Chains A and B, each alone.
Chain A
Amino acid sequence: MAGTMMIKIVFSGGLELLFGNERNQSVLIPPFVPSDNSTHSSLSSSSESSTPSSYNDTPSTGETKAADLEYLIYHLRDHLLKERPELFMENGTIRPGILVLINNTDWELEGEGSYQLCNNDEIVFISTLHGG
């Protein structure tokens, strides 16, 4: 599908343990996604079949938004996370204590969840909750 974005994902600081112990992964994200962050109609992650699914037949309200980091978090939870989602997400965002970097910049400087994804972005998630 035209405009599909490839997003590089890095999990570290122990967070990779929730994601099948794979630190480096990548996902394909459509340019427009459901506003309610429903991910079931979107493109699958690159590790699965790359046949584009028809996300037009989405059962949700049909309202869409440009794909943002908030949507990506839901996508990762629904498609890459292997266990214990409560250790990754809390109240519709990343759990406090997990640091997020967008292209090597603190996501707090980039609008956090409202950051609009671009093709080839690299998003790093680092847990600070594991032993020092």
Chain B
Amino acid sequence: MAPTSCSLCRDAKAILKRPKTGQQICKNCFFFVFETEVHHTITESELFKPGDRVAIGASGGKDSTVLAYVMKTLNERYNYGLDLFLLSIDEGITGYRDDSLETVKRNQQQYDMPLKILSYDELYGWTMDAIVEQIGKKNNCTFCGVFRRQALDRGAASLKVDHIVTGHNADDIAETVLMNIMRGDIARLGRCTSICTQGEDTIKRSKPFKYAYEKEIVMYAYFKKLDYFSTECIYSPDAYRGHARTFLKDLEAARPSAIIDIIHSGEAFEVKEEIKAAQKAQQTCKRCGYMSSNDLCKACTLLEGLERGMASSVITDRARKNMDAMGPAPDNIRTIPLFRSTPTIAVELPSQS
């Protein structure tokens, strides 16, 4: 088969068929259009302003590694004026997070960005290994999800950043739209497709890769020879998400625009006022001060369940009431640090090695 030439520069050999457009493009044009589209996503949504301190949620995986590289590139190319940091959460999973954190530490050197690693152990007093040892593998993703989300916020507060960016890509968002539809969680549909979310009390979070296809992120990492880590979390299999993912990949194989179409569908769901009203008003956690829709935030609730040996019973509201009925929490329950007004910032600066 004769090599196809690039449909943009009409010169170099095409190396990639873009899933979004079907265009066949060369390596340099691919780098340029991929970066430029992320730049447009950022500028059209006015995600940042000059002087913002921005933490990149870095797991060592493909998406966050490419995000760190592209954020650094765009910040320099277009003079965003951002202070960029890498923020990693160490869940305490032996043999999984150890290796991926090594990748993040290499990224710190390669991209010359300060890195902050915050562990579940130092925040919550529990590693995921210890949690799984106590509660088994059934609900551990619930714990990890709540703990990770809050850990990113708390880590960001300790870095005094205004904004966390995460590597969620178009495939991830389409997958979440499907999952929310399948669960009947219409109220969450609008929120899961919005590029930037901000709770009353928390730091902004956004997804510059909202419209970037996973295929292009992986191809970008491949052609740029970026250093990333890939393995499945040993505790994970989130079976439900796995099914949604397989279904989505099958749809994409049949019609590549399916991913963007699903995101647009999610965006188009107008959340009616009565559904919004059903969502609880936000307050702050009576124990740690994190924003919460109940007296205790989700992390404090889960932590109390762990400490009282009732962890598997705190997943639902009803189980929570049962635990309350057992009497008040003991006095020695840990207060999760918020880092609200930390005077000094503990950051590992990239060392020259």
Of the stretches B103-111, B245-253, B315-323, the one at the interface is B245-253
Q: How far is the CB of B215 from chain A (nearest CB, A)?
A: 6
CB closest residue in chain A, given B22? A108
The 0/1 profile, CB within 8 Å of A marked 1, for residues 229-256 of chain B is 0111100100000000110011011000
Instruction: Establish whether residues A97 and B62, one from each chain, have CB atoms under 8 Å apart when the complex forms.
Output: no
Asked whether, in the complex, the Cβ of A130 is within 8 Å of the Cβ of B232, the reply is: yes
Interface positions, chain B 1-33, Cβ under 8 Å from A, are: 1, 3-4, 13-17, 24
| Contact residue among B17, B236, B252 (Cβ-Cβ distance under 8 Å from A106) | B17
A109-B4 contact, Cβ under 8 Å, with A96-B252, A126-B218, A126-B222: yes
| B305 within 8 A of partner (CB) | no
Is B208 on the interface with A (CB-CB < 8 A)? Answer: no
- A9: interface (CB < 8 Å): no
* B219 interface residue per 8 A CB criterion: yes
A127-B230 contact in complex given A96-B253, A99-B215, A109-B14, C-beta closer than 8 Å = yes
Please indicate the chain A residues that have their CB under 8 angstroms from the CB of B236 in the complex.
131
A97-B249, A106-B219 known; A128 vs B16 contact (CB < 8 Å)? no
Measured CA separation A124–B223 after assembly (Å) = 12
In the bound complex, what is the Cα–Cα distance between A40 and B253 (angstroms)? 30
On whether the beta carbons of A131 and B233 are closer than 8 Å, the reply is: yes
Known: A14-B230, A99-B215, A106-B219. A132 touches B61 (CB 8 A): yes
Tell me the A71-126 residues at the B interface (CB within 8 Å): 95-97, 99, 101, 104-106, 108-111, 115, 124, 126
Which residues from A are CB-within-8-Å of B171? 128
Q: Which of A13, A17, A132 contacts B172 (CB 8 A)?
A: A132
- Do A131 and B230 touch across chains, with their CB atoms under 8 A apart? yes
Residues on A with beta carbons closer than 8 Å to the beta carbon of B3? 105
Interface size range on A against B: 20 to 34
Contacts of B61 in A (CB 8 A): 130-132
Q: How many residues of B contact A (CB 8 A)?
A: 36
Chain B, residues 51-76, CB within 8 Å of chain A (1/0): the string is 00000000101111000000000000
Of residues 303 to 345 in B, which have CB atoms within 8 Å of A's CB atoms?
none
Enumerate chain B residues within 8 angstroms of A96, measured Cβ to Cβ: 246, 249-250, 252-253
B167, CB-defined interface residue at 8 Å: yes
CB distance from B99 to the nearest CB of A (A): 12
B232 contact from A12, A14, A109, Cβ within 8 A: A14
B169 within 8 A of A: yes
Q: Which of A17, A106, A110 has the most CB atoms of chain B within a 10 A radius of its CB?
A: A106
Task: State A12–B1 Cα separation when bound (angstroms).
Answer: 26
Distance, CA A104 to CA B232, complexed state (A)? 26
Cα(A106)–Cα(B61), bound, Å: 22
Q: How far is the CB of A128 from chain B (nearest CB, A)?
A: 5
- Per the bound structure, the CA–CA distance linking A55 and B277 in Å amounts to 71
Contact with B along A50-74 (1 / 0, CB 8 A): 0000000000000000000000000
The smallest C-beta distance from B29 to any residue of chain A, in angstroms, reads 13
Judge whether B13 and A105 touch: CB under 8 Å: yes
A30 to chain B, nearest CB (A): 21
- Is A108 within 8 A of B17, CB to CB? yes
* A106, closest chain B residue (CB): B16
| Contacting residue for A13 out of B13, B62, B252, CB 8 A | B62
- Could you tell me if A12 and B230 are in contact, using CB atoms closer than 8 angstroms? yes
B214 beta carbon closer than 8 Å to chain A: yes
Q: List residues of chain A with CB within 8 A of the CB of B59.
A: 131-132
Contact A99 B218 (CB under 8 A): yes
Chain B residues, Cβ within 8 Å of A17: 231
Q: A14 — which chain B residues lie within 8 A by C-beta? A: 230-232
A87 to B4, CA, bound (A): 31
Complex CA gap A126/B230 in Å reads: 10
A115: which B residues are within 8 A, CB to CB? Answer: 1
A132 to B226, CA, bound (A): 13
Since A106-B219, A109-B14, A132-B167 are in contact, a sample of 6 more A-B pairs with Cβ atoms closer than 8 Å, ordered by chain A residue number, is A105-B3, A106-B15, A108-B17, A128-B215, A130-B232, A131-B236
Q: Using a CB–CB distance below 8 Å, which chain B residues touch chain A?
A: 1, 3-4, 13-17, 24, 59, 61-64, 167-169, 171-172, 214-215, 217-219, 222, 230-233, 236, 245-246, 249-250, 252-253
Hey, which bits of chain A sit against chain B, CB under 8 A?
Answer: 12-14, 17, 95-97, 99, 101, 104-106, 108-111, 115, 124, 126-132
